[in-house]
Amino acid sequence: MIDVEKIRADTPGVNSVAHFNNAGSALPPAVVTDVVIDYLKAEAVRGGYEVADARADELASVYAAASDLLGGERKNWAFVESATRAWNAAFSALRFSPGDRVITTRAEYPSNMAGLLRAKEIQGVEIDIAPNDEHGQLDVAALEAMLDERTRLVSVTHVPTQGGLVNPVEEVGALLSGSSILYQVDACQSVGQLEVNVERMGCDMLSFTGRKFVRGPRGTGMVWASDKAFSQMANPAGVDMSGAEWVAPMEITPHAKASRFEPYETFFAGKVGLASALRYAKEVGVANIATRNLRLAETLRSQLSNLPQVAVHDLGLKKCAIVTFAVEGQTAAEVVSWLSSKSINVSASVENSARLDFPERGLTELVRASVHYYNSEEEIERLIDEVSKLA
């Protein structure tokens, strides 16, 4: 059980806003903000390099925190600037040959698609889209039928940016287990709100951000890769002398494990902040978080569905903390603006972020309200009341 009042007391932001934009950037607990500010103040009076040396153990604790929460050995975790940087760091280190196939899903992130399309342009990779089943989630049986000897990678987004769908990532992992095919999971929207474990998923690469449901600082993210993935990797894009050795005038050798992904210059204060956020989530218990989030989201979906001229658009057999809806006669931007004027934060999902999904469903935009465990039932009532006025 979660002591919601204690969690809200740890979260100063709830005193000024009803925050339903956790899929964008969640409100951090005070302990996370405090540790970031403390680190920045230390840099200001002592010097950045000097503080990094003196607090090396504290900075390194982020790897243990990620491993404790999500599985995987510490040496296989790397800290980077964002989920996009994390995903592309792992993907760009792979070496493809013309004709190699990558299979992705209709829930794929736009930034990930940019990386896939770059590989198509430069390395001749073929990109195929696995279909959804009748519930709107990835059709694992159809994916299995698509696999062949040219398939090098399957890329799956666990939870898309534009809806409450939860893709069956563990079933995909079981399907690919024992094969030579690599399996990459974007957990940008799932880490911190759902139970995520790299071994249980059976994936070879996983990436997430700090700012969303983890409740960490912006400008932070992490990437994990399996030993199997490392055996097929070379230098990632953007590698520098923090991740590789200049061993000869014309030779750069990447580090053996995940440190190859890390830039020399990064958000050091954010690194200690992310470590704190991961430990905070571990202490609260992600299973507890997931249970409360599901209850809050189901309440929100149910009450929105009961409003006239409001349609809820979440797909999948399993749904999460993201709730998407449309109000007849109102644009998504108008709904976001109206709610903002009432100190209620939501966001909009637009076609440009969901070009493999929205056109197929006849959608161009939706309002996205994403709950988190510190939200209260009273805040949901406020949201419903204000949407009902618009509807």
Give φ, ψ of 282 to 5 degrees.
-60, -40
Q: What percent of the chain has pLDDT over 70?
A: 100
Contacts 24+ apart (CB under 8 A), 135-142: 135/315, 135/316, 135/317, 136/165, 136/315, 136/316, 137/165, 137/166, 137/167, 137/168, 137/315, 137/316, 137/317, 137/318, 138/105, 138/106, 138/107, 138/167, 138/168, 138/172, 140/168, 140/171, 140/172, 140/175
The answer to whether the beta carbons of residues 124 and 155 sit under 8 Å apart is: no
The answer to whether the beta carbons of residues 349 and 165 sit under 8 Å apart is: no
**Which pLDDT score, from 0 to 100, does residue 358 have?**
94
Residue 133 CA: distances (Å) to CA of 276, 316, 359: 39, 9, 17
CATH class label, 30-283:
alpha beta
Q: Is the pLDDT of residue 121 over 90?
A: yes
The answer to whether the beta carbons of residues 21 and 370 sit under 8 Å apart is: yes
**Which pLDDT score, from 0 to 100, does residue 391 have?**
84
Q: Is the pLDDT of residue 1 over 90?
A: no
pLDDT digits (tens, 9 = 90+) for 293-326: 999 999 999 999 999 999 999 999 999 999 999 9
**Which pLDDT score, from 0 to 100, does residue 240 have?**
87
Identify the weakest region by mean pLDDT among 147-151, 253-257, 274-278: 253-257
Residue 329 burial by Cβ neighbours in a 10 Å radius (0-12, 13-18, 19+): exposed
Task: Look at the chain and count its residues.
Answer: 391
What is the three-state SS of 189-215? CCECCECCCHHHHCCCEEEEECCCCCC
The whole-number average pLDDT for the span 129-146 is: 97
pLDDT digits (tens, 9 = 90+) for 38-72: 999 999 999 999 999 999 999 999 999 999 999 99
CA distance 75 to 167: 28
What b/e readout covers 9-23, taking b as 16+ CB neighbours within 10 angstroms? Answer: ebbebbeeebbbbbb
The whole-number average pLDDT for the span 274-292 is: 98
Amino acid identity for residue 118 in this structure: R
pLDDT digits (tens, 9 = 90+) for 237-274: 888 888 889 999 999 999 989 999 999 999 999 999 99
> 113 Cβ partners below 8 Å, 6+ apart?
104, 355, 356
**Ranges of each domain in the chain:** 4-27+286-390, 30-283
Both structure tokens of 349: 């999902």
Is the domain 4-27+286-390 a CATH 3.90.1150.10 member? Answer: yes
